[in-house]
Structure 1
Amino acid sequence: MELDIYVVDAFTSQQFCGNSAAVVPVEEWLDDSLMQSIAAENNLSETAFIKAISENHYHIRWFSPLTEIDFCGHATLAASYVLFNQIGVSGVLRYSTGEVGDLEVKMTSDGQIEMSFPNQMPQELPVVPQALLQGLSIQPIQILKNRQAYFAVLPSEQDVLNVKYDSEKLKQLAPFDVVVTAISEQYDFVSRYFWPANGGDEDPVTGSIHSGLAPYWAQQFNRAHLVAYQASQRGGLLHCCVEGERVMVSGRGVLYLKGRLFV
């Protein structure tokens, strides 16, 4: 069997920055084990498999090298980039997902890809897991949690850049990941994302977690529109807008690879 494959750098306008995702369009779903093997072979943060349902409507599934993921922003951006720029789809896309409902995506007038995500505002924790405190080298000033991750608010932007993490400690928090965040001087807020239990040590840019970060920081700033930077080694820029029960997360993409899989 031969399949098309694309690799897109998401949340960036420059190659070799942002977060790379593979995109594999399929006519019928492959066996889960085969999709997992393809994702492991690709060895990127995520591989997105998309299957057309009707015009502009697709099922989407996301796999890390370790497991299937129930929500991934950068691979959704990558899949949309491929549909808009390589396959020639226009208008509003709709993705059906297993865990987070339907997601709408469109191309903005300035060429960004805007994704509508559910608002996943985190809530403050009454009891903080010791593995979280022991797994970060800098003590958070606030800790919250949503369905995806623990949110550790650090005292400063420099702390986000400098913090070290203990992967073995953070693995004890599975199935939850950990995001560290702080106010930024150049942007509105910065973050880093650690997910040793689900995909790797540090994710370069995590679109999905901004469905929680944006509502949190919108509340702190008392405004809906925010600019975020994920400060990994590759780095990524995200534009966020909180609209009630939805969070719009926008960014750019760059094609790196187009090829064929033989499986």
Structure 2
Amino acid sequence: MTQLPIFVVDAFTNTQFKGNSAAVVPLEAWISDELMQRIAAENNLSETAFLVKNTPNSYQIRWFSPLTEIAFCGHATLASAFVLFNHLGVSERVEFTTQTVGSLTVTQTAESKLVMNFPMQMPEPISNVPSTLLTGLSITPSQVLKNRQAYFVIYDNEVDVHQVAYDAAQLKQLAPLDVVVSAPGSEHDFVSRYFWPANGGEEDPVTGSIHTGLAPFWSKRFDKQVLKAYQASKRGGDLVCEVDFSTERVTITGEAVLYLQGHIWV
């Protein structure tokens, strides 16, 4: 049997049992896709990130939900950077290379906050809204947009985001796209919830990647470059987003806390 290290980190929070949990598995070399998928299913967390070192400050990264490999995951990237900075000797800055979204960089501030630099994924308005999207949500949206990852359902009122109910069987028919609902917030610039029955589970606690689309959308709406965001799941999570339209990049800042460190035997 082979022994692999594993860390479980609560991301986008500084308190255990909040934010979104991700497993991080550093590897000496890639194992099979089938084994990575089985490990992710066994972990049964939103994502498991697998890392292979290129150089002391550069790592390849791949993300798996319990169901499938994911093209882009923010919270597991944050969790991976937290592990590298705090447990594996990387200092200040790390670059992640991906097969799907190019290069991602993460820096650690003096206050131990993690600043992730991601490509912008601005959603575009759509005219033909799928009927399964409308029947899959209990509250009719004021606007619907779409990017490569999800349908963006916009509400005028934060209460709608908190109260909307969803039909997972209906939303699953929108595969490969997921669904995010969002509205202006009272204590934050905007709030959101993320439903992804097609790719991983029913509701994701905190979704870093979708904020590369939410942040530029609300930035244009509010004419504001730096925005505070809250994902209103049961666990909840706080994010600070900064939008740079000239470079088409979004920085997302969050915190993380270790929950578990151990080994997998496979």
When normalised by structure 1's length, the TM-score is 0.99
Residue 111 of structure 1 pairs with residue 133 of structure 2: no
Q: What's the CA shift string for 1:82-135, capped at 9, x where partnerless? A: 000111210321100011000011012322101011010100002110010110
Residue 151 of structure 1 pairs with residue 158 of structure 2: no
**233, 250, 254: which one pairs with 1:247?**
250
**Secondary structure, counterpart of 1:200 in structure 2:** coil
Residue 256 of structure 1 pairs with residue 264 of structure 2: no
**Separation (CA, whole Å) in 2 of partners of 1:241 and 1:224:** 6
Residue 139 of structure 2 corresponds to 138
Residue 178 of structure 1 corresponds to 179
**Separation (CA, whole Å) in 2 of partners of 1:243 and 1:80:** 22
Residue 29 of structure 1 corresponds to 30
Residue 203 of structure 2 corresponds to 202
* Letter aligned with residue 163 of structure 1: V
Deviation at 1:21, TM superposition (A): 0.1
Q: What's the CA shift string for 1:221-248, capped at 9, x where partnerless? A: 1011000000000000000000121000
When normalised by structure 2's length, the TM-score is 0.98
Let me know the Cα RMSD of the aligned residues.
0.6
* Letter aligned with residue 97 of structure 1: T
Runs (5+) with no aligned partner, structure 2:
none
**Separation (CA, whole Å) in 1 of partners of 2:86 and 2:244:** 27
Residue 85 of structure 1 corresponds to 86
User: Could you list the runs of 4 or more consecutive aligned residues of structure 1 that deviate by over 2 angstroms after TM superposition?
Assistant: none
* Letter aligned with residue 183 of structure 1: P
**Separation (CA, whole Å) in 2 of partners of 1:113 and 1:78:** 9
Deviation at 1:52, TM superposition (A): 0.1
* Letter aligned with residue 218 of structure 1: S
Residue 236 of structure 2 corresponds to 235
**Separation (CA, whole Å) in 2 of partners of 1:176 and 1:24:** 26
**Separation (CA, whole Å) in 1 of partners of 2:120 and 2:65:** 23
**Secondary structure, counterpart of 1:220 in structure 2:** helix
**Separation (CA, whole Å) in 1 of partners of 2:99 and 2:165:** 34
* Letter aligned with residue 259 of structure 1: G
- Aligned-residue sequence identity (percent) comes to 61
**Separation (CA, whole Å) in 1 of partners of 2:217 and 2:225:** 10
Deviation at 1:72, TM superposition (A): 0.1
**Separation (CA, whole Å) in 2 of partners of 1:88 and 1:102:** 21
Runs (5+) with no aligned partner, structure 1:
none
Between Structure 1 and Structure 2, how many residues are aligned? 263
**Separation (CA, whole Å) in 1 of partners of 2:134 and 2:253:** 32
Deviation at 1:44, TM superposition (A): 0.2
**Separation (CA, whole Å) in 1 of partners of 2:229 and 2:109:** 18
**Separation (CA, whole Å) in 1 of partners of 2:116 and 2:233:** 22
